[in-house]
Structure formats: structure tokens, C-alpha cells
Chains A and B, each alone.
Chain A
Amino acid sequence: GDQVEQSPSALSLHEGTGSALRCNFTTTMRAVQWFQQNSRGSLINLFYLASGTKENGRLKSTFNSKESYSTLHIRDAQLEDSGTYFCAARTGGNNKLTFGQGTVLSVIP
């Protein structure tokens, strides 16, 4: 079965507001990576976490390997934040990343 369950599948935010995206893992993961896929289809690196929390501008991500989840918080959303957000996680002992299904984020004026 799927090892990475991402939610919600779609989200609409008004400019200036915020929300959280979540990934739940059905097996122990040792690291998680978050990407934004923009309108041109490019995958942009946002965060890589083996544990704890990282913050970059209006984005913040947390990875809790014990409780098997990761979150991506977006605050003060801007139009250019629109796109599809993917989490991808790495199980112990191999170099493969397994992707979630993605969250389609629409930021509306």
C-alpha cells in the first residue's frame, strides 16, 4: 500500500492567509523532502529534514519521525505560491524517495 499519504488533495487560500499541508507515513521514514511544482512543471526544492523544524521565509516544515508525519505551513500566502506541493520520504537503508500524491494549492486574490 501507499507509504506516503498527503492531505488535503486540494486547497484554496485567499492572499494573506495561511494553512498547513500534511504527510502521514505508514512506515518509519528517516527523512522527508518537500517540493513545489510550479506552473511550468518544474520541481523546486523547499525543505529537506531528517528531524525537527526548518523555516524559510513564509514557509515552515516539521518532521516527526516517531509519530510518522511531516507538515508544511504556509503563512501570508501570495499568488506565486500557487502550484502543487509534494512531500517525498526516504525509508531507512535505501536511497529511494517515495512521493505523496500532492496537494494542489490555489491562492486567490
Chain B
Amino acid sequence: EAAVTQSPRNKVAVTGGKVTLSCNQTNNHNNMYWYRQDTGHGLRLIHYSYGAGSTEKGDIPDGYKASRPSQENFSLILELATPSQTSVYFCASGGGTGGSNERLFFGHGTKLSVL
């Protein structure tokens, strides 16, 4: 199974502070994704990337930035954290080359609480 590692696993932040969530994959996957999971909403896509240097807006990008400095790393950045961004965040990677290579593999999640 492909490995996707997120850090930190848990984070408590203050309103107005800056938060960076990190994701690393060693599968040489082109595509990486950030989702958040909230009760009643399932998983919703925030940002994604097709490769190093690329970032794309997902379905709920407001209040978030993303950075893909390399094939392996994809960060989610909250410049000014708000309590509404309290959630569990999942990073995923996928080959994106068609067929079963399009399968997504998820990290274990980061629980973020903004006070």
C-alpha cells in the first residue's frame, strides 16, 4: 500500500495564527490532494496539485493556500486561522495516469483545533 505521511497528527492553534500542515509521499505520485472532513459533510476537497510547482483550487479553497515545492511534499497553509477551520484534514496522493493508477491513497489525518 502506498505511503502518505502527514504531520502533525494533532494541532491546536489560536485564532489569527498561521498554521502549516505538511504531507509527504514516497510513491512518486504526480497528484496530491488536501481534504477536510466534518460531520455531516463527508470529505471535501480544498486544494490539489498535478506536480511540483502546481496548485489548483478544489471545491472549498477559501481561507487556505497550498504549496507543492517538490514531487514528494504538499503543504496546506492557513494564514489566518479561524475556529470554522477546526476539522480533520486528510492528504492524499494518486498516480493520475489513468486506470487503477488513479487510485487515491490517504494519510492518517491531522486533527486541527482553532481556539
Contact = CB atoms under 8 A, between A and B. Distances in A.
A42 B108 contact: yes
Contact of B109 (A35, A41, A45): A41
A107 to B, nearest CB: 21
B101 to A, nearest CB: 9
A90 B102 contact: yes
Given A33-B103, A48-B103, A96-B48, A101 B1 contact: no
Nearest to A97: B104
Q: Give the size range of B's interface with the partner.
A: 20 to 34
A101 B38 CA distance: 10
Contacts of B108: 40-42
A102 B103 contact: no
Interface string B2-27: 00000000000000000000000000
Interface of B: 1, 31, 33, 35, 40-45, 48, 50, 58-59, 88, 90, 94, 96, 99-100, 102-106, 108-109
Given A95-B50, A101-B42, 20 more contacts: A33-B103, A33-B104, A40-B108, A41-B88, A42-B106, A48-B100, A50-B99, A86-B42, A88-B43, A88-B104, A95-B31, A95-B48, A95-B102, A96-B33, A96-B45, A96-B58, A98-B45, A99-B35, A99-B42, A99-B43
